[in-house]
Structures are given as C-alpha cells and as structure tokens.
C-alpha cells in the first residue's frame, strides 16, 4: 500500500538529547523539499511534550516524522496512536531497534527517501499497564541496565554502551520470584529477567524470538531462570539471535495477553524507560500504527520450546 507524500504537510519532532539529535538535518530536508513535502519542525525538551505536541498540531498535519531513537518514539506513541496519522522515522538514537525491525536505513538521506517513497505498513503496539511500547518491556536485570545506560555513556560510546552497561548490571543482578499468568494457568518462576517483545529487535540489535514480527498480533517473551549469573554470558549468542529457548533455564512463550506479579512492586522498563511497576498486565494492539517503511521480508518460523508457557489467547 503506497501513501502519496507530494504536497502533504508533515510535523517533524526532534529530540535534541538523542545521541544524534544535534546532527544537521539538511540532507533529509532536501529530500522532503524535492518531494513537495512541507515540513514544520518542533523541538522538545521533555518526553511528555511529544504527545501533547502531536495532539496540538494533528489537525493541521498529514504525516508525523519522529527524529530520534527508540525512547523518543515510545514517548510519542500515545500521540501517534490517538492521532491516527502515519509515522515516518529518522533514526538518530543509539540502538534504533524499531528502525532495524522495520528495515529503515540508518542514514538520514536514505531514511528520508524511505518516507517519501510512501510504502505504508501497519504495525502492532505493545501495552503494559496502559503504557505503550514498540520493541520490548522487561522486568529485572534490564531495568538496572537501562538506569546505567546514561545519555552521557551513549553519546560517548554509541552501541558499545549497551555491552558496558550490561556487564555492570550482570555483576549486581539477583534472581527474583514472579508469577506468570496466562492460558488459564499460573507459573511460579525464579528469574533474573522477564522480557516481553512486541517487535523483533531490542537492546541494540538482539532478537526477542526467531519467529517474532511486529505485525503478527502477538507478544513474545522469555524468562531467564538461571541460578548463577556466570551462565548468562554463555547464553549471549542465543539471546542475541532470538533463540533463548535453546537453554533449559530459559522459559519462552507467546500470546496476546498475560500478567506478571511479584511479591513487592518491581519497576518495568519499556523501550529503555521505566514506565510502571508490577503487577504488570501485557497486551497487544494489532495494527495500531501506520508507518512508512520498506516492504517486510519473510522470516523462517521456528517451533516453540518444549518449556513454552503460553498466555491466554494463544
């Protein structure tokens, strides 16, 4: 499905605090101008300004363009969904996992050309306790990682910052008890991390599950049930490639709604930001956003792990 962009009006939302947020946008503007796309730029200083800015200008806008990383796009999610406007992405963050999932090029010029090419794709949006996310929401070790992954660290080291923060988080990681509810049953686990993916990529290029797609109407999860943290580095190859279920200590599953409860409230990280606490209810909004991206490529499907815990709606 193509979406004509000539003579349309676009609202370009820029996060100057993103890793590449101070990068000149001349190449992108040249592409937009050549396509007859009239662009209004709005810069913001706090995530809350994104959704309100979209709401304020949506009546005079035909297209939203978010310039920043995954955290910026997540902060804009409510405004994007409520407006119903198509979304273009200029990836200027550190991980750019949503752009990677969608096959959006990393350079500004190529990403802008993807927007004006106008191929429209409908994608799902994840939801945890009413907070929207595109890539992944998680409980446990990843929350500590996100807190260590400061803007200063990302600006200095780029994608290497993920590995540096992960090593530090792993040293301090401790298992916690949780109950995963889904499919009419409860599962008691002792885990270092529970990760719930709406998209395919997270954490600077890791894959949540080999079969995961951002338009399949489902969530994919894993629970990292290892007794000793020294085992986690041995699992990295499988975790990066979406095959955590190859390890007996990792529980995997997929579904459309499930819940995670803990003895005391634990923070929940969504696309790099702590947004809520447990108990956490995870759901998916199928095809909630229209995004301008290259046509999707097929991926091989793999059978679920024998230890799969399937949430309700499976």
CA distance 82 to 292: 17
pLDDT band at 314 (very low <50, low <70, confident <90, very high): very low
Topology of the domain covering 131-287: Tumour Suppressor Smad4 (2.60.200)
The per-residue pLDDT for 45 is 78
Phi then psi for residue 206, to 5 deg, are -70, 160
- HSE-CB at 154 with a 13 A cutoff on CA atoms is 24
The per-residue pLDDT for 44 is 84
Question: Is CATH 3.40.50.410 what the domain over 9-118 is classified as, yes or no?
Answer: no
Question: pLDDT digit string (tens) for 147-171?
Answer: 656 566 666 656 666 666 566 556 5
pTM to 2 decimal places = 0.84
pLDDT band at 232 (very low <50, low <70, confident <90, very high): confident
Question: How do the domains of the chain map onto residue ranges?
Answer: 9-118, 131-287
Question: pLDDT digit string (tens) for 109-150?
Answer: 999 999 999 999 999 999 999 999 999 999 998 777 666 565
Matching fold, domains 9-118 and 131-287: no
CA distance 270 to 283: 13
Question: pLDDT digit string (tens) for 43-97?
Answer: 887 777 888 889 888 888 999 999 988 999 999 999 999 999 999 999 988 789 9
- As a whole-number percent, the residues of the chain with pLDDT over 90 amount to 53
By the 8 A CB rule, do 128 and 12 touch? no
Question: pLDDT digit string (tens) for 266-308?
Answer: 999 999 889 999 999 999 999 999 999 998 774 433 333 333 4
């Amino acid at each position: 499905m193509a979406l004509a962009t000539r003579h349309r009006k676009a609202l370009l939302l820029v996060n100057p605090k993103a890793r590449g947020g101070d990068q000149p946008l001349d190449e992108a503007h040249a592409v937009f101008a050549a396509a007859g796309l009239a662009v209004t730029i709005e810069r913001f200083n706090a995530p809350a300004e994104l959704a309100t800015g979209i709401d304020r200008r949506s009546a005079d806008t035909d297209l939203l363009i978010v310039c920043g990383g995954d955290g910026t796009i997540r902060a804009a999610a409510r405004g994007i969904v409520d407006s119903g406007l198509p979304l273009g992405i200029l990836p200027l963050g550190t991980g750019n996992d949503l752009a990677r999932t969608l096959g959006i090029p990393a350079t500004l010029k190529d990403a802008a050309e993807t927007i004006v090419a106008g191929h429209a794709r409908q994608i799902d949006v994840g939801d945890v306790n009413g907070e929207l996310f595109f890539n992944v929401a998680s409980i446990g070790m990843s929350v500590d990682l996100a807190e260590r992954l400061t803007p200063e660290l990302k600006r200095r080291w780029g994608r290497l910052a993920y590995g540096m923060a992960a090593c530090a988080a792993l040293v301090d990681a401790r298992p916690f008890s949780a109950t995963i509810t889904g499919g009419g049953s409860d599962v008691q686990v002792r885990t270092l991390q529970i990760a719930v993916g709406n998209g395919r990529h997270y954490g600077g290029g890791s894959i949540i599950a080999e079969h995961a797609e951002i338009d399949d109407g489902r969530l994919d999860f894993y629970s990292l049930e290892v007794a000793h943290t020294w085992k986690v580095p041995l699992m990295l190859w499988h975790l990066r490639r979406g095959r955590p279920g190859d390890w007996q200590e990792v529980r995997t599953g997929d579904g459309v709604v499930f819940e995670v409860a803990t003895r005391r409230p634990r923070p929940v990280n969504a696309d790099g930001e702590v947004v809520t606490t447990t108990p956490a209810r995870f759901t998916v909004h199928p095809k909630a956003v229209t995004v301008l991206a290259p046509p999707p490529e097929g991926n091989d499907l793999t059978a679920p792990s024998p230890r799969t815990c399937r949430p309700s709606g499976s």
